[in-house]
Structure 1
Amino acid sequence: MASERGSSATRWAGVSLADRRSERRALLVEAAFELFGTEGEAAVSVRAVCRSARLHARYFYENFAGTDELLGAVYDQVAAELAERLLAAEAAGQGGDPAAGLRAGIHGVLEFSSADPRRGRVLFTEGRANPVLAARRQATQTALMDAALQQSTQVRPELGSRQARVSAAMFTGAMVELAHQWLSGTLGEDLDAVVEYAASLVMHGDPRC
């Protein structure tokens, strides 16, 4: 115990109390991201996360009430990173070509999720029965639907308000399933082809049109 206290003192020497707590929180989130993204929800325990982060359990409870709250923080971090990617896609659509923005958005979600498979597991696949993650995923889908509704009116201005909302709802559900299928490898390896086909379905209802 004395050696642990000495090691901890050396590790945080010269770091302010607020910065120590912030750094420890980041270490715990990163450790949980690795465990959850590679081994699944069952691998995320207080002991396993603290062992991976090389932190005492008291530092865990300094930041989180339990593992569900920690998993929520992991999801929030990955979702925020994805949001940054999608902002760039949205900018592409503001240049007068909403179809380009649509393609960039679909590409952004799929590429971000598969470039690091841990991200896709956090966002779409692992812990689907976890209430904290389920609530966050639902909130993300709602935000995606709002964005899809706005984009739908740009890509297909001939649609009425009800038709646009139906289209946005179908796109949102389809996008989640598309991500599942892309991550599972059932759609092949040609990301550009998948994106083009999906975008054509949204824009025309039939990719041959």
Structure 2
Amino acid sequence: MANDTETAATRWAGMPLAARRDERRARLVAAAFALFGTEGEAGVSVRAVCRAGRLHARYFYESFADTDQLLGAVYDKVAAELTERLRTALEATGDDLAERLRAGIHGVLEFSSADPRRGRVLFTEARANPVLAGRREATQTALMDAVLQQETRTHPAADPRLARVRAAMFTGAMVELAQQWLAGGLGDDLDIVVEHAAALLLAQHPS
């Protein structure tokens, strides 16, 4: 680790302290993502993360109290990337509900499977770890609120309770759909899966 420490000192020479900390934190998050996304939670230890990130262990505790906190940062990063991907996809569509549904469903499934590590972080391993389970619940709540806002905007006269039930069902269905897609239970044709899912959701939506 001495050589790594020497290399790190050279790498950060002249860099402001805050920037050094940010760069080290980013390296730890990237290393944890790679380990967690391939080996699961069992593969993420302070030693393994620091080895993968080529950092001394003392730098771990500069940013994180423990590995749970680090895993939370990994989840937050991947969830933020998914949110941005969905925002971009939806901005490229018009106001047509069917078009927006297809774009949203495609965005979630394509993002999750383009790099299977993302799907493992968001939809698979997140079920077992208490820290990640809490974040996953918060993410689903945020998604449900976004769907509810869309529902209210397009159908302002709809029964609020019915709208919330529909938003909750859509959110739960998307999580299960993503898990099945990632597990290979839905085949390998993303476009067909998107069409089927959108058709089913539209059939339950008021005209």
- TM-score under structure 1 normalisation? 0.91
Change (3 A) 1:157 1:5: closer
Letter in 1 for 2:85: R
Q: 1:158 Cα deviation (Å)?
A: 7.5
Counterparts of 1:143 and 1:132, CA distance in 2: 17
Q: Is the 8 A contact 2:144 2:167 kept in 1?
A: yes
The answer to which of 103-112 and 80-89 deviates more is: 80-89
Q: 1:90 Cα deviation (Å)?
A: 2.9
> Structure 2: 5+ residue runs without aligned partners?
none
Tell me the equivalent position of 2:116.
117
2:155 equivalent to 1:177: no
Q: Is the 8 A contact 2:126 2:136 kept in 1?
A: no
Identical columns (%): 73
Secondary structure of the residue that 2:127 maps to in structure 1?
coil
Change (3 A) 1:127 1:205: closer
Counterparts of 1:117 and 1:4, CA distance in 2: 30
Letter in 2 for 1:41: E
Q: Is the 8 A contact 1:44 1:67 kept in 2?
A: yes
2:135 equivalent to 1:136: yes
Tell me the equivalent position of 2:23.
23
2:86 equivalent to 1:86: yes
**Match runs of 1:182-193 below 5 Å:** 182-193=181-192
- TM-score under structure 2 normalisation? 0.91
Q: 1:153 Cα deviation (Å)?
A: 4.4
Change (3 A) 1:3 1:78: closer
Counterparts of 1:78 and 1:68, CA distance in 2: 15
Q: 1:127 Cα deviation (Å)?
A: 4.2
- Cα displacement string for residues 114-139 of structure 1 (whole angstroms, at most 9, x for unaligned residues): 00000000111014221110111000
**Match runs of 1:147-166 below 5 Å:** 147-153=146-152, 159-166=158-165
> Structure 1: 5+ residue runs without aligned partners?
none
Give the length in aligned residue pairs: 205
Counterparts of 1:42 and 1:55, CA distance in 2: 20
Q: What do you get for the CA RMSD once the two structures are aligned?
A: 1.9
Change (3 A) 1:4 1:168: closer
**Match runs of 1:41-52 below 5 Å:** 41-52=41-52
**Match runs of 1:3-82 below 5 Å:** 5-82=5-82
Counterparts of 2:136 and 2:48, CA distance in 1: 25
The answer to which of 106-115 and 151-160 deviates more is: 151-160
Secondary structure of the residue that 1:189 maps to in structure 2?
coil
Letter in 2 for 1:49: V
